[in-house]
Structure 1
Amino acid sequence: MSYAVEAQGVAFPYLMIQMYRSGEASGSMDKTALIMADQYTKDHRIKGKKKSAMTYPIILIIVTILVLLIVYLMVLPSFFDIFKNVDLPLITQINIGISHFIQDYWYYLILIFAFLIVGFMAALKIKKVRFKVDKLKNKMPLFGKLMITIYTSRFARILCSLYTSGMSIVNALNIAKTTIGNVYIESQFDSAIKKIRNGETLSQSLKDIEGFDVKLTSSIYVGEESGRLETMLTNPADDFDFGAEQASERMVTLIQPIMIIFLALVICLIIISVLLPIYTLYNNVGNM
């Protein structure tokens, strides 16, 4: 079965192939298949919740960009002729300059935006750049804690699935590290695996890995001491799944008011930049 699945190329994930291979070796294919079904059901549910959580912020960002384009391309240009002979304040000069720049060089802005996206995607394929970006993810304010929770949840669930299928802990770690989705965390596993081979426990080996929640190693330690490692891997995996969902909701809750406040501030600045010269014109007319 494992060879048949592997022959299909990218149709099936690497984790499933290795799990089936382990199930074949231990004679527990039925149990392995059920574990995989549960694993990918949870993955699908978590991904769906993350997409749903990010829908509103994405819509808000798009609306913000559209509003700014309308203001700079349609609203401000209607005041250009009125402001020709007026001594404009700095804020008005800046906004008019932005409006002129967008009108005259919009195609350059599109090219620059496209180049930045393509360049960023290409840079992520470079190992050193991906390493630094993945390391930065864990240290970002607000988002860093969320990413650590997600990585810990993913690793705990995968390790639990591999271990309960009868795979050795070293082989399980070698496979689980490739499913975390963070090159920086993955690079630290060589040292952890070496410690296990030298006789250290799993909890001691994972303790120094930066990018995991400290509760993971504590749970593993309790499982090792009580002889219930399988159970103590399952419980934190479920806890971290719930924690990842809660962290995603908190992140979205923070993003929404930040985006609304940003849009309000920009619109207020634009309104002020228009009203100030109009007020000056009104005073000049009143003094004549």
Structure 2
Amino acid sequence: MSAVRSAVKTKPSVKAEQMSPFVWEGTDKRGVKMKGEQTARNANLLKAELRRQGITPLVVKPRPKPLFGAAGKKVTPKDIAFFSRQMATMMKSGVPIVGALEIIGSGQKNPRMRNMVGQVRTDIEGGSSLHEAISRHPVQFDELYRNLVKAGEGAGVLETVLDTIASYKENIEALKGKIKKALFYPAMVMAVALLVSSILLIWVVPQFEDVFKGFGAELPAFTQLIVNASRFMVAWWWALLVVVVGAIASFIYAYKRSPAMQHGMDRLILKVPIIGQIMHNSAIARFARTTAVTFKAGVPLVEALSIVAGATGNSVYEAAVLRMRDDVSVGYPVNVAMKQVNLFPHMVVQMTAIGEEAGALDAMLFKVAEYFEQEVNNAVDALSSLIEPLIMVFIGTIVGGMVIGMYLPIFKLASVVG
């Protein structure tokens, strides 16, 4: 009786960008059944490749597409961070780069990530360096990642650089999570307040209005204001919904396509109480950590600042870092260039100056990053502890105001009767 086993994925013979995914079944020279997945230009080429490896293909067919949409989730920065950590660990253990990629690829549950790793492996088997291979995937591997890998390959310390990249991406993703959490709270307060107000105006207030009609008396001004708002909401809720959704969609569309609008919004956010300080600290932390990582990897400082600018997460800081790059390129020390943009706190400028004088700029910037990351953590934790009572007060004010407005006519009628 023939045993069934899963085959190691075969090596494609053509560039992965030109291939399509297939599933196959076959037998080896001993008659053992085998099966697997492979990308190839077409089914005939895959059959020929299998035969060259001593496998008799029985079934070769295109891999079925998922029932809903794209083949798997998109590749996220967290996926890339984990990929980097796995690569660094295996390379430090002596696993060759192609072998490491094959192991990582075979363990991927996300088809997109698995295919991408397979394409990188194929390119390296074809003679490309890791930097050249990942450069064909600029969406997943940004300019910073590619330049760090290039520097690591040039210095012969690729596994160390990959380990540094993994730590960097893990820290940056944690910081992004904190920022999203900080921005989510105010949005949640507004959304809950809007929902509660809409429910009261559309369903509750009309019932009170029917009662008021039996009084035959003029309503207090505040009550009349609420009743008028309720009538408007009941009659035009659909139009208001269209306007709100349209306004949000238009804003997002314009924001993504207008650098001037992005810059203006980023500048405005930096001035918002509490949230603005969190965004300042986040941008400084990202600047410091990214600069430290690139400088430590051996990327020239001017080139590093060009890369770092886009990693700050705020267009105001991006413009400031680009001005710093221009100053550094003509001979200014980093701390002087930093001081001239008039955006970084004095402590950051001072620590940068000390790092430059001591020849330990990367180490000092790592300390700056850790300090401001902790500041972000503390601020977000404090904000989260304040938000619950804030929501209660905010909603209580809205609900309480409407309840008082609805009962004012009853109080007025009672005083007249009394």
Q: Does 1:203 align with 2:332?
A: no
Contact kept? 2:151, 2:299, Cα under 8 Å:
yes
The alpha-carbon deviation at position 26 of structure 1 amounts to 2.5
SS of residue in 2 equivalent to 1:181: coil
Q: 1:194 to 1:13 in 2, by over 3 A?
A: closer
CA contact (8 A) 1:57 1:256 kept: no
Give the aligned partner of residue 142 of structure 2. 13
How big is the shift at 1:168?
0.9
1:54-65 matched pairs, under 5 angstroms: 60-65=189-194
Q: Which moved more, 1:64-73 or 1:48-57?
A: 48-57
Aligned to 1:158: 290
Any idea what SS the aligned residue of 2:224 has? helix
Contact 2:292-2:361 within 8 A present in 1 as well: no
Please name the residue that 1:79 is paired with.
208
- Aligned twin of 1:140: 272
Which residue in the other structure is 2:51 paired with? none
Check 1:275–1:104 CA distance in 2 against 1; reply closer, same or farther (3 A cut). Answer: same
Q: Which residue is 2:303 aligned to?
A: 171
**Aligned equivalents of 2:159 and 2:412: distance in 1?**
81
Residue pair 2:339, 2:349 contacting (<8 A) in 1 also: yes
Q: Which amino acid aligns with 2:250?
A: G
Instruction: Give the alignment's TM-score, normalised by structure 1.
Output: 0.91
The 5 A counterparts of 1:28-177 are 28-51=157-180, 60-84=189-213, 85-124=216-255, 125-177=257-309
Identity of aligned residues (%): 27
**Is 255-264 or 107-116 further displaced after alignment?**
255-264
Please give the per-residue CA displacement for 1:39-81, whole angstroms capped at 9, x wherever unaligned.
1111233334445566666555444333222211221111112
After TM superposition, the score normalised by the length of structure 2 is: 0.64
Q: Please identify, of 37-46 and 91-100, the stretch whose mean Cα deviation from structure 2 is larger.
A: 37-46
Cα distance per residue 1:160-184 (max 9 Å; x no partner): 1100001111111000001112112
CA distance in 1, matches of 2:264, 2:166: 34
The Cα offsets for residues 185-240 of structure 1, whole Å up to 9 and x where unpaired, read as 21233332222122211111111334433322111111112222221111111111
CA contact (8 A) 1:135 1:184 kept: yes
**What residue in structure 1 maps to residue 33 of structure 2?**
none
SS in 2 for 1:167: coil
The one-letter amino acid of 1:137's match is: I
Query: 1:72, 1:102 within 8 Å by CA — same for their partners in 2?
Result: yes
Preserved contact between residue 147 and residue 299 of structure 2 (Cα < 8 Å): no
Alignment check: 8 A CA contact 1:39 1:157 kept: yes
211-220 or 151-160: which moved more? 211-220
Is the 2:302–2:325 Cα contact (8 Å) retained in structure 1?
A: yes
Displacement of 1:154 after TM fit?
0.6
Whole-angstrom distance in 2 between the partners of 1:113 and 1:52: 23
Is the CA contact 1:54–1:252 (under 8 Å) kept in the aligned structure 2? Answer: no
Structure-2 separation of matches of 1:53 and 1:138: 13
Contact 2:175 2:282 in 1 (8 A): no
Higher relative strand content: 2
- Between stretches 145-154 and 80-89, larger displacement belongs to 80-89
Residue matched to 2:58: none
Asked if the contact 2:212–2:409 (Cα under 8 Å) also holds between the matched residues in 1, the reply is yes
Write the letter of the residue equivalent to 1:23.
Answer: G
Whole-Å Cα distance in 2 between the matches of residues 255 and 143 of structure 1?
Answer: 13
**3-state SS of the aligned residue for 2:210?**
coil
Q: Is 1:218 aligned with 2:350?
A: yes
Larger helix percent: 1
> 1:104 is aligned with what amino acid?
A
Computing the radius of gyration from Cα coordinates, the structure with the larger value is 2
In 1, the alpha carbon distance for the partners of 2:138 and 2:388 equals 41
CA contact (8 A) 2:181 2:380 kept: no
In 2, the alpha carbon distance for the partners of 1:106 and 1:224 equals 61
Contact 1:216–1:236, Cα closer than 8 Å, also in 2? yes
Q: Work out the number of aligned pairs and report it.
A: 286
Q: Does residue 191 of the first structure (1) align with residue 323 of the second (2)?
A: yes
